[in-house]
């Protein structure tokens, strides 16, 4: 029998399964062709939350998998994202994504990145002669958010959110926002949420504002999975190190969207142990403000056209008290 995944309620009352599956695939025909099969396997194993994006190139196959599963549409939570080069064409971009998915509506529509990137056919990240990504100040995330707010009135979007937003940029967003983001997803190419970088300042801010958080690729990479404490807890609870890390995330109320093409690993990822409070505190103590990814380009000092200062990424160590 497939596992039953608990849900959390977003700030507008919409419920989202706390564990979902990512759908990223390398942009090769072979990798893209496999997505439908392992998304179908995930749905069979009990997943009811699928995270996709224009940048992943998997919207169509995700939609095909949902249709082929035979599971009623209303039982599956679908997250889609506005790419950073579509800030000046939000409605058009959304309608294209919805057509690709063929799901009738999207449960959560997110802004994938805070920076506005110049739109050029054939590439998501056009480059300047010096190799930096072409960004523009002619439109801002505040402008794009205002257009996303309008999508709520269409009945085709149940909730809107952001991705890779720091406290600094959330503060800027709130200077004009009429609707608070329902979710802030922190992805693998940025300072991710994992035991070595708990991001508690960001979590505390989001908690105060009623913004749920999602961790993408939440296991923290092999360096975290091989930490002696994580390994010892996995042995204690007779689970994998990844399951221990996921249990820590869920203890924080963080939504996780791990991606696995492997049937057995998919099952493991939704069968999470309940750790003792003492063991959770031990994992909290691993936080050392270490970025395992999201490092700037050594030559340009930028990441996708922005400096880390523009992103507003800082390390936060104090444990959030809730």
What is the distance between the alpha carbons of residues 238 and 243, in angstroms, rounded to a whole number? 10
What is the distance between the alpha carbons of residues 118 and 306, in angstroms, rounded to a whole number? 13
- CB-based burial of residue 223 (10 Å sphere; 0-12 exposed, 13-18 middle, 19+ buried)? exposed
Instruction: Write the DSSP string, 201-238.
Output: HHHHHHHHHT-EEEEESTT-HHHHHT-HHHHHHHHHHT
Neighbours of 126 (CB within 10 A): 16
Supply 147's token pair: 């257009």
Catalytic residue among 47, 56, 205, 216: 56
Instruction: Write the DSSP string, 271-291.
Output: ------HHHHHHHHTT-----
56 as an active site residue: the answer is yes
Q: Strand, helix or coil at 136?
A: coil
What is the distance between the alpha carbons of residues 313 and 294, in angstroms, rounded to a whole number? 10
Q: What is the enclosing helix (H) or strand (E) of 32?
A: helix 29-44
- Of the candidates 58, 61, 50, the one whose C-alpha atom is nearest the C-alpha of residue 21 is 50
Supply 65's token pair: 């998998």
What is the distance between the alpha carbons of residues 253 and 250, in angstroms, rounded to a whole number? 5
Q: Which positions are annotated as active-site residues?
A: 56
């Amino acid at each position: 029998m497939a596992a039953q995944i608990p849900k959390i309620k977003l700030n507008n009352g919409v419920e989202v399964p706390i564990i979902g599956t990512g759908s990223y695939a390398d942009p090769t025909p072979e990798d893209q062709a496999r997505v439908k099969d392992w998304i179908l396997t995930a749905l069979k194993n009990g997943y009811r939350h699928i995270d996709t994006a224009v940048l992943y190139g998997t919207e169509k196959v995700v939609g095909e998998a949902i249709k082929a599963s035979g599971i009623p549409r209303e039982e599956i939570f679908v997250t889609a994202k506005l790419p950073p080069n579509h800030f000046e064409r939000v409605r058009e971009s959304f309608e294209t994504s919805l057509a690709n998915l063929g799901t009738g509506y999207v449960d959560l529509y997110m802004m994938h990145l805070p920076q506005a990137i110049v739109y050029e056919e054939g590439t998501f990240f056009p480059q300047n002669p010096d190799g930096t990504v072409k960004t523009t100040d002619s439109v801002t995330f505040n402008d794009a958010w205002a257009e996303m707010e309008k999508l709520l009135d269409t009945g085709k979007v149940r909730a809107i959110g952001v991705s890779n937003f720091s406290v600094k940029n959330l503060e800027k967003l709130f200077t004009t926002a009429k609707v608070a983001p329902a979710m802030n997803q922190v992805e693998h190419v940025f300072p991710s949420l994992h035991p070595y970088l708990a991001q508690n300042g960001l979590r505390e801010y989001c908690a105060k504002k009623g913004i749920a958080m999602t961790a993408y690729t939440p296991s923290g990479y092999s360096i975290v999975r091989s930490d002696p404490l994580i390994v010892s807890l996995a042995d204690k609870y007779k689970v994998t190190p990844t399951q221990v890390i996921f249990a820590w995330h869920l203890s924080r109320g963080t939504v996780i969207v791990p991606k696995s093409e492997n049937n057995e690993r998919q099952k493991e990822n939704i069968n999470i142990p309940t750790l003792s409070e003492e063991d959770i505190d031990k994992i909290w103590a691993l936080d050392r403000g270490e970025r395992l990814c999201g490092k700037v380009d050594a030559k340009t000092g930028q990441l996708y056209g922005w400096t880390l200062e523009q992103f507003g990424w800082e390390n936060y160590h104090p444990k959030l008290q809730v």
